[in-house]
Amino acid sequence: MTGFDFVLYKSDIAIMSRRILKHTFPLLNIDYVSLDKRWNYKNVLSPYYRLYYIDQGCGDITNGKEHWLLEPGYMYLIPGFTLCNLHCASNMGQYFIHFFEDAANSISLFHNHRTIFKTPANDMDIAGFKRLLEINPHRKINRSDNPMVYEKNIYYKEYEALNNQQPYALFIETQGILLQLVARFIGLQQGKQDVTNGIPAKIVDLLGYINLNLNQAITVKKLADMTNYHPDYLSRLFMKLTGERPLSYIHTKRIERAQYLLVTTQLSLTEIAEATGFDNLPHFSRVFKNKTSLPPARYREQQFGS
């Protein structure tokens, strides 16, 4: 083998073995807090992830249907756009991390399971929380533990600026720790998918298609044609898998995307409506209010602190 052939061989191996990371997690906040009965907030629906490690006391999270006890020695992951109620009856020591998920060319890791995940924390996990807090000392909220106070667009931009100013070595380390912690929950999510035995895999593929094409016209007939199912049969299977009919699921994902764009960009409402696949602004506003109880303009005003 000549030197030139060897270079080509190495290049081919690199191309064949290369795997691109599709998800990154821009950090917003990290802190350790001692909470009491004032930590009692209902109908929290955040556009970012929450990750908790409890080291003392207890609390709980509910979503109206299920209940999770926040207890020492465990980690909890709440994916973005997961509705929950947060409560502490007495006292609780909590490490918390807030972060966005950047999956612009892919679908969310937990797109099909907007629920709370719980797993025992090991020594490496605990060290990760402490190290992340050590290298990100200016990420404490320091304003209030009320989401209505700190969930503001101006603060999101402030934290994004800190990401850009962070020394690159620490930025990479921050991302590495976040990836390590999130990875601890991916197997749990896959385990939940196993519950759907008997549901054709191509229905799950449709979920990915929907999430990647929210700005396109998507009809139940089009989805049925993609799976070679009758629209009524597809609708029943979809309901079994997601708890929603196809059109409702599509609207849910479009509004989740719209919420993200409203709090992280300066796009106009018309531009956001177009980017999320709505024919016109009135239709977008009507569906948005139906899903969130607020018109999109008012939702943005809340995030900007108006």
Please give the residue that has the higher pLDDT: either 273 or 21: 273
The domain spans of the chain are 27-194, 198-303
Which pair of structure tokens corresponds to residue 228? 């070679």
What's the CATH number for 198-303?
1.10.10.60
Fold classified for 27-194 = Jelly Rolls (2.60.120)
Q: Are 113 and 159 in contact (CB under 8 A)?
A: no
Question: Residue 202, class by beta-carbon neighbours within 10 Å (0-12 exposed, 13-18 middle, 19+ buried)?
Answer: middle
The pLDDT confidence band at residue 286, using thresholds 50, 70 and 90, is very high
For 137-165, the pLDDT digits (tens) are 988 886 667 776 666 666 777 777 888 88
Dihedral through CA 54, CA 57, CA 63, CA 65, nearest 10?
120
Q: At residue 162, what are phi and psi to the nearest 5 degrees?
A: -65, -35
Q: Flag whether the pTM goes above 0.85.
A: no
The one-letter code for the residue type at 37 is K
CA gap 66, 115 in Å, rounded: 9
For residue 194, the one-letter residue type is D
Strand blocks (E) in the chain: 27-36, 40-44, 49-57, 59-62, 67-70, 74-78, 84-87, 91-99, 117-120
| Mean pLDDT calculated for residue range 166-190 | 90
Q: What percent of the chain shows pLDDT beyond 70? A: 82
